[in-house]
């Protein structure tokens, strides 16, 4: 895919949620537990809409814009009790609010490919009960079918290094890095995490997975040097942490785009990440000899705007 995989989360906005007799526990943005033992089959548990009226709904757009005649893939990360008692339904509407068609993902362990029909003005996504009494919802994803899944880009075994590039998450989405974004940099291992905000690439399970990928890539390329790079507040912290706390013989390339330590710690607590940063951790580690600053920085002070900033343009300044 040349664009974004869109992640759909369950917010604590309840106007589109089945509440009668329901218990809802918002554990984290990507972990919501819903329980209702008296809910009949066919009940619409949760609805997301691609068209909202802000004054009435007090919500921004919940779903990505889909293009007519394009093929997309829907996937779900949901656990249900009993198993196989939930399905996901997409409804497509015209400008007269008439339903043009609908598709359903019935087996949550698989994916559903669908074509957005001509004449679609908006669509909805619904969780429908088929005897479900409990579900643990993490996220849904909608992505273009042509997605490029290669992790290792611009392979050149004549170069002695491996560049580990952490992908910067965006609000409800993730940019996939392509070769043309890298300006001739070779042997790039793109690290992506489909959890909300990437869980900052710092929970213990992710660290083990990333370390394994790095070891495999080093063996394949016979690389002697490891570089880590970021280009936004999430990927920068990951590159800085891996280079100064895990792979101590490596080099980090980061921009000036960082949150404050207090903001990082607040987000860590929100996602249950067991990491503690000292007050001056970022400033201290940016001064280490194996850390290089690059780029002009794209950070904005408005915390509500920050998640929407596209930091990928900073990669044009990544040289070494």
Q: Give residue-wise pLDDT tens across range 223-279.
A: 989 999 999 999 999 999 999 999 999 999 999 999 899 988 888 887 777 778 898
Domain end, chosen from 95, 115, 144, is at 144
Residue 166 sits in the same domain as residue 134: no
Average pLDDT over residues 211-219: 89
Residue 91 sits in the same domain as residue 133: yes
pLDDT for res 297: 76
Residue 158 sits in the same domain as residue 116: no
Domain end, chosen from 127, 144, 161, is at 144
Q: For residues 295 and 301, what is the distance between their CA atoms, to the nearest angstrom?
A: 18
pLDDT for res 106: 94
Per the structure, how many domains does the chain have?
2
pLDDT class of 301 with cuts at 50, 70, 90: low
pLDDT for res 171: 61
Residue 70 sits in the same domain as residue 186: no
β-bridge partners, 93: 99, 122
End-to-end alpha carbon distance in the chain: 28
Give CA angle at 137 (134, 143), nearest 5°: 140
Classify 213 as helix, strand or coil: helix
Distances (CA, A) of 223 to 186, 189, 248: 11, 12, 16
Average pLDDT over residues 280-307: 82
Average pLDDT over residues 25-31: 92
β-bridge partners, 128: 44, 87
What percentage of the chain has pLDDT greater than the value 70? 88
Position with higher pLDDT, 292 vs 178:
292
Residue 127 sits in the same domain as residue 168: no
pLDDT class of 2 with cuts at 50, 70, 90: very low
pLDDT for res 148: 43
Helices (H) and strands (E) in the chain, counts: 5, 18
pTM above 0.85, yes or no: no
pLDDT class of 149 with cuts at 50, 70, 90: very low
**Of 106-115, 201-210, 299-308, where does mean pLDDT reach its minimum?**
299-308
Residue 227 sits in the same domain as residue 122: no
| Predicted confidence (pLDDT) at residue 1 exceeds the cutoff of 60 | no
Domain end, chosen from 121, 144, 167, is at 144
Distances (CA, A) of 172 to 74, 117, 155, 197, 267: 14, 24, 30, 8, 16
Residue 244 sits in the same domain as residue 134: no
pLDDT for res 269: 83
Q: What are the residues whose beta carbons fall under 8 Å from the beta carbon of 146, sequence distance 6 or more?
A: 1, 2, 71
User: Tokens representing 273?
Assistant: 């990440």
Report CA 190 to chain centroid distance, whole Å. Answer: 14
Average pLDDT over residues 85-91: 97
Q: Are strands 225-229 and 161-166 parallel, antiparallel or unpaired?
A: parallel
Residue 131 sits in the same domain as residue 164: no
**Of 137-146, 206-215, 264-273, where does mean pLDDT reach its minimum?**
264-273
Residue 165 sits in the same domain as residue 301: yes
Greatest CA separation for the chain: 64
Average pLDDT over residues 121-147: 91
Residue 233 sits in the same domain as residue 161: yes
Distances (CA, A) of 305 to 95, 266, 298, 309: 31, 17, 12, 7
- Asked if residues 293 and 286 have their Cβ atoms less than 8 Å apart, the reply is yes
| Predicted confidence (pLDDT) at residue 290 exceeds the cutoff of 60 | yes
pLDDT for res 181: 85
**Of 98-112, 168-182, 183-197, 232-246, where does mean pLDDT reach its minimum?**
168-182
User: Tokens representing 50?
Assistant: 């691609």
> How many Cβ atoms are within 10 Å of 122's Cβ, its own excluded?
18
Residue 204 sits in the same domain as residue 262: yes
| Predicted confidence (pLDDT) at residue 180 exceeds the cutoff of 70 | yes
Average pLDDT over residues 183-203: 78
Residue 160 sits in the same domain as residue 306: yes
pLDDT averaged over the chain? Answer: 87
pLDDT for res 307: 63
pLDDT for res 311: 87
- Asked if residues 7 and 194 have their Cβ atoms less than 8 Å apart, the reply is yes
Position with higher pLDDT, 52 vs 35:
35
pLDDT for res 270: 78
Average pLDDT over residues 125-141: 96
**Domain interval for residue 65:** 4-144
pLDDT for res 146: 56
């Amino acid at each position: 895919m040349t664009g974004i995989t869109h992640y759909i989360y369950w917010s604590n906005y309840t106007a589109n949620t089945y509440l009668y007799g329901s218990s809802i526990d918002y554990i984290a943005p990507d972990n919501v537990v819903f329980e209702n033992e008296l809910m009949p089959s066919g009940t619409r548990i949760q609805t997301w809409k691609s068209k909202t009226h802000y004054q009435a709904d007090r919500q921004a757009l919940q779903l990505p814009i889909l293009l007519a005649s394009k093929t997309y893939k829907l996937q779900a990360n949901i656990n249900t009790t009993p198993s196989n008692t939930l399905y996901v339904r997409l409804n497509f509407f015209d400008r007269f609010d008439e339903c043009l068609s609908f598709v359903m993902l019935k087996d949550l362990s698989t994916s559903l490919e669908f074509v957005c029909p001509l004449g679609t003005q908006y669509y909805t996504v619904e969780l429908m009960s088929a005897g479900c009494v409990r579900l643990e919802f993490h996220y849904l994803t909608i992505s273009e079918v042509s997605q490029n899944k290669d992790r290792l880009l611009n392979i050149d075994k004549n170069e002695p290094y491996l560049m580990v590039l952490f992908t910067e998450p965006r609000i409800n989405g993730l940019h996939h890095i392509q070769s043309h974004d890298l300006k001739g940099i070779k042997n790039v291992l793109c690290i992506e995490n489909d959890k909300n905000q990437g869980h900052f690439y710092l929970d213990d399970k992710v660290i083990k997975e990333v370390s394994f990928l790095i070891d495999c890539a080093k063996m394949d390329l016979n690389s002697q040097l490891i570089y880590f790079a970021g280009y936004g507040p999430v990927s920068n912290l990951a590159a800085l942490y891996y280079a100064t706390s895990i792979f101590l013989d490596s080099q980090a390339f980061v921009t000036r785009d960082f949150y404050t330590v207090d903001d990082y710690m607040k987000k860590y607590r929100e996602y249950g990440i067991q990491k503690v940063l000292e007050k001056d951790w970022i400033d201290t580690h940016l001064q280490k000899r194996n850390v290089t600053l690059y780029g002009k920085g794209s950070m904005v002070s408005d915390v509500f705007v920050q998640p929407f900033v596209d930091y990928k343009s900073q990669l044009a300044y990544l040289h070494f």
